[in-house]
Chains A and B, each alone.
Chain A
Amino acid sequence: MSENSPESSPRQLATDARDRVRFEEEALELSDQVYSVARRLTGSREEAEDLVQETYARAFRAWRSFEPGTNLRAWLFRILTNLNIDRGRKIQRSPDTQPLEETDYFLYNKLEEATPDGTPDERRVVERLSQNDAVSALAELPHDFRDVVLLVDLADFTYSDAAQILDIPIGTVMSRLHRGRRILKGTLAESAAEEGG
Chain B
Amino acid sequence: MSGYAFDPCEKCEQMMQPYLDRVLSEEERVEAEHHLDTCEYCRRRYRFEAEFRRFVRLAAAEPMPPELKAKLRALRTPL
Contacts and interface: CB of A to CB of B under 8 A. Distances in A.
B56 A28 contact: no
Interface in B56-79: 56-65, 68-69, 71-73, 75-77, 79
Please report whether the interface of chain A is mostly helix, strand, loop or mixed according to DSSP.
helix
Given A52-B72, A126-B55, A154-B56, 8 more contacts: A40-B60, A49-B71, A52-B64, A108-B52, A123-B47, A135-B60, A150-B60, A184-B56
Interface stretch (A53-61, A66-74, A91-99): A53-61
Interface of B: 13-14, 16-17, 21, 23, 44-45, 47-49, 51-65, 68-69, 71-73, 75-77, 79
Please report whether the interface of chain B is mostly helix, strand, loop or mixed according to DSSP.
helix
Interface string A77-115: 000000000000000000000000001110110000000
Interface string A154-192: 100001000000000000000001100100110000000
Contacts of B13: 103-105
